[in-house]
Amino acid sequence: MLKPDAVLRRLIGKILSRFEEKGFKITAAKMMVLENDLAEKHYAEHSEKPFFGDLVDYITSGPVLAMVIEGEECITIIRKMVGATNPKEAELGTIRGDYAIDTGRNIIHASDSTESGKREINLFFNNSEINKYTLLDEEFIYEEP
């Protein structure tokens, strides 16, 4: 999910290009302003943290771009591409390392496990909104497509 600062800073294209160039498949995308309730569900695991209120304010402060991105090992690889939670510690070359400075303005969310991925996809998308298609160059991305 591209957080509101990514959208307001016109970083959508640059960030999505990275996922496309890597070889991943974007199978759903939806821009929306999250209601508090949905934001709280999305970040339920952090509800007891001191930054929870600020986090919900941040993620609801403007439009986000929610997406489903598919590909082999995509959770692990995308978490690497996103970089550390604190952008000051994120390696240069990662999305947060290149485009962000503060943890509370770290521009992108990525699911951290298959389970959280499924849970989060269900929060934002119906099955009918997820598109099945074959990339034109899939045979060059994967040894065994």
**Which residues are annotated as catalytic?**
109
The reply to whether 103 sits near ligand IDP by the rule CB under 6 A is: yes
Residues 6+ apart with CB under 8 A from 10: none
CB 1 within 8 A of CB 65: yes
Q: Shortest approach of ligand IDP to residue 72 CB, angstroms? A: 21
Q: Shortest approach of ligand IDP to residue 91 CB, angstroms? A: 13
Report the alpha-carbon distance of residue 62 to residue 36 in Å, rounded: 12
* String of contacts with ligand IDP for each residue 112-141, x by CB under 6 A: x-----------------------------
- Near ligand IDP in 42-81, by CB under 6 A: 46, 51, 55
Report the alpha-carbon distance of residue 138 to residue 24 in Å, rounded: 10
Positions touching ligand IDP (CB under 6 A) are: 46, 51, 55, 85, 103-104, 106, 109, 112
